[in-house]
Amino acid sequence: MTDTVATQENISRPGLLSRILRHRYLEHYNRLVFLVLAVNAAFLWHGLHEGQWWSASAINLSAVANMVLANFALAVLIRQQYVINFLFWLATRAPVSWPLAIRWTLAKVYHFGGLHSGSAMAATLWYGVFVAGLLNNPAAAPESVVTITWIIMALLIGIIATAMPGFRQRYHNAFEIIHRFGGWSVLALFWMQTVSLADFHQTSLLTSVDFWVLATVTASVILPWLRLKKVEVDIKSPSNHVALAKFNHGVTPFPGSSTTISTNPLLEWHAFANMPSPNEDGFRLAISRAGDWTGEFIKQQPEKVWVKGIPTAGVANIEVLFKKVVYVATGSGIGPCLPHLLAGQVPAHLIWSTRNPRNTYDDELVDEILEAVPDALIWDTSTRGKPDLVELALEACQKYDAEAVICIANQPLTQKVVYGLEIRGIPAYGAIWDS
């Protein structure tokens, strides 16, 4: 274990402009939200002026419906596991010889959720316009479609409202249930609406763009569930704070990916970073006590759990965009870091802050870490208190000439580390609330 902390030198003080531009309200997630809304605003301007979507007597419902479906499709497809993996693959094709500024931005690929949120909000707003147009022109649809339209509008508002960070964090289980069943209901009602309108206007479904967009979205939603299965798991708990769950059901995920597991697949799913070991089949998950579900999981130690979909890329995958990186982890945040440290694809240094590491996570895991990174700084908070991780990361970047920092910790601490480093000109990354 390394206990020595280097003195801090030549670290520039961040200026006001840097602090503003790197503020979390201007992070790439929110920039993508604004981008989607700006594109939709441009289409609205086109519809108001050149497109002639509005007249004194009616609204071009077909054009508005296309905007609803386009945004709805983006909101769903951008969350598809194959799409996510493709986005990470594409973003990490850049060689390390490219300018750091370009790689710095490409590594923010994990903020793709901003496209989901922005398009979901835009779809809801456009749908409000569609509802207004339908009410203004009752002859455009049968009464059954009007009823379906109102139900969809109510569901969309409910989904958006409960997806706001405050509600989502405080009532996560309710958010997940509303998001899942509400989303499925909206999709089913869109099908009913599309079929009813095609029948009402006597048009062919197979020649309708709406039909094929909905078919694509539906296939995207169903696909992960086609891989739903219940698998055996071997659980070891070195302490009542953590469970080390080992899986070997024919899947060896790539480093930096995550797996979602559940004990009740219709109600809630929880994603954890995969910890595959080089030249070994299967993988491990480090599950820390962080709430009711994880606490019950550690206590009950189920023999089988549900898994679905495919291993999905996570934030640590962006390490390949840099020549050297520093990993900053707290507690079970070591999970997403470990496979990268073991693989050794990118030279890396580790700062791991945790309580009683050997007692909490067992000697085998700690020895595995030190074998991969002999000079790792493992900070035992039970004897040394909580460290200043921003300061330690800055010192490590100087000492090891690292280009970037990847932080895996709780949300407030991750935000503090990422912000504290980026305003000083160091690329920093960490899971966001919508990860």
Residue 3 has pLDDT above 50, yes or no: no
Which residue type is seen at 50?
Answer: E
Two structure tokens written together for 220: 């995207």
Q: Domain 229-308 is of which CATH architecture?
A: Beta Barrel (2.40)
Beta strand pairing call for 257-264 and 229-232: unpaired
Percent of the chain whose pLDDT exceeds 70? 94
Instruction: Name the least confident of 226-230, 248-252, 303-307, 398-402.
Output: 248-252
Mean pLDDT of 337-344: 89
Q: What is the CATH number of domain 315-430?
A: 3.40.50.80
Instruction: Name the least confident of 23-32, 292-301, 366-375.
Output: 23-32
Structure confidence by residue, pLDDT tens digits, 48-77 = 988 888 877 778 999 999 999 999 999 999
Quick check: 393 and 421 in contact, CB under 8 A?
Answer: yes
Two structure tokens written together for 132: 């207004």
Q: Which residues pair with 288 in a beta bridge?
A: 242
Query: Any idea of the CA torsion for 411, 415, 417, 422, to the nearest 10 degrees?
Result: 150
Two structure tokens written together for 176: 């997940």
Counting Cα atoms < 13 Å in the Cβ hemisphere of 222 gives 8
Structure confidence by residue, pLDDT tens digits, 260-274 = 999 999 988 998 889
381 in helix, strand or coil? Answer: helix
pTM of the model: 0.90
What average pLDDT does the chain have? 90
| Structural domain spans, the chain | 53-223, 229-308, 315-430
Residue 4 has pLDDT above 70, yes or no: no
Residue 311 has pLDDT above 50, yes or no: yes
Chain Cα centroid distance, residue 20: 24
Residue 10 has pLDDT above 70, yes or no: no
How many Cβ atoms from other residues are within 10 Å of residue 34's Cβ? 13
Q: Name every residue whose Cβ is closer than 8 Å to that of residue 45 and which is 6 or more positions away in sequence.
A: none
pLDDT range class, residue 239, cuts 50, 70, 90: confident
pLDDT range class, residue 207, cuts 50, 70, 90: confident
Per-residue confidence (pLDDT) for residue 382, from 0 to 100: 92
Q: Cα dihedral sign for 205, 211, 212, 218?
A: negative
Residues 215, 207: Cα–Cα separation, whole Å: 13
Fold matches, 229-308 and 315-430: no
